[in-house]
Structure 1
């Protein structure tokens, strides 16, 4: 959970004991417990509401596939470019202003065209 190991949690607990003191620690521990419980209830409520609104399709969704930690930006770009019909188009040289084609390569000493009407 958030990269916290048992040792790190123990250190955080020891620091909390010294900062809060033994008198106030039970009160703040109870508040933390209530916060965690309310966050868990909100997450379960959101899940139940999604299940109600999506109906039977909710169980068919592959949630692991939608996990943002599994996205590889390089793979996404590679797949998007593989579907792009202009990737294999020949490169048109830039003459004067901007090239009309989808891909224009500039030499090292050439500046990119500037569009004053672009936002």
Structure 2
């Protein structure tokens, strides 16, 4: 909590007790207890409102934890659910005697780099890439 360990918290409470003094300390402790009670009531009321708004169904709060959010998995599932499986229209079999070069494959003005795969083959996928 705020980067304070137990010993430091004890020293801070001792300094606060000395600064406040014994005559005002009970009234401040009473105010602190009232604030804690109000905060507890506010949390309980908020939970009751959420339960009323969402209905009587149990909410799996652990599933809504942002630490469990994996954007790669969510995008992968969203893309794979709706997309039909990839079926090439014809097999990518090179013709004997013909070599496909980058210059022959690309239109004029396009990138003239090496051809990595056949035109009908799916693009390589690296699931470790971010």
TM-score, normalised with respect to structure 1 = 0.52
Look up the SS of the partner of 2:61 in the other structure.
coil
Pairing 1:25-36 to 2, within 5 Å after superposition: 25-36=25-36
The separation in 1 between residues aligned to 2:12 and 2:19, in whole angstroms, is 10
Gaps of 5+ in 2: 81-109, 112-130
CA RMSD after TM alignment? 2.9
Structure exhibiting the larger radius of gyration computed from Cα positions: 2
The residue aligned with 1:41 is 41
- Structure 2 counterpart of 1:63, from 61, 81, 89: 61
Structure 1 residues 8, 19: CA separation in 2 closer, same or farther (over 3 Å shift)? same
Q: Find the counterpart in structure 1 of residue 9 from structure 2.
A: 9
CA distance in 2, matches of 1:35, 1:44: 14
Unpaired stretches in structure 1, ≥5 consecutive residues = 86-91, 94-119
Alignment size in residue pairs:
81
The structure, 1 or 2, with the larger RCO (C-alpha pairs under 8 Å, 6+ apart) is 2
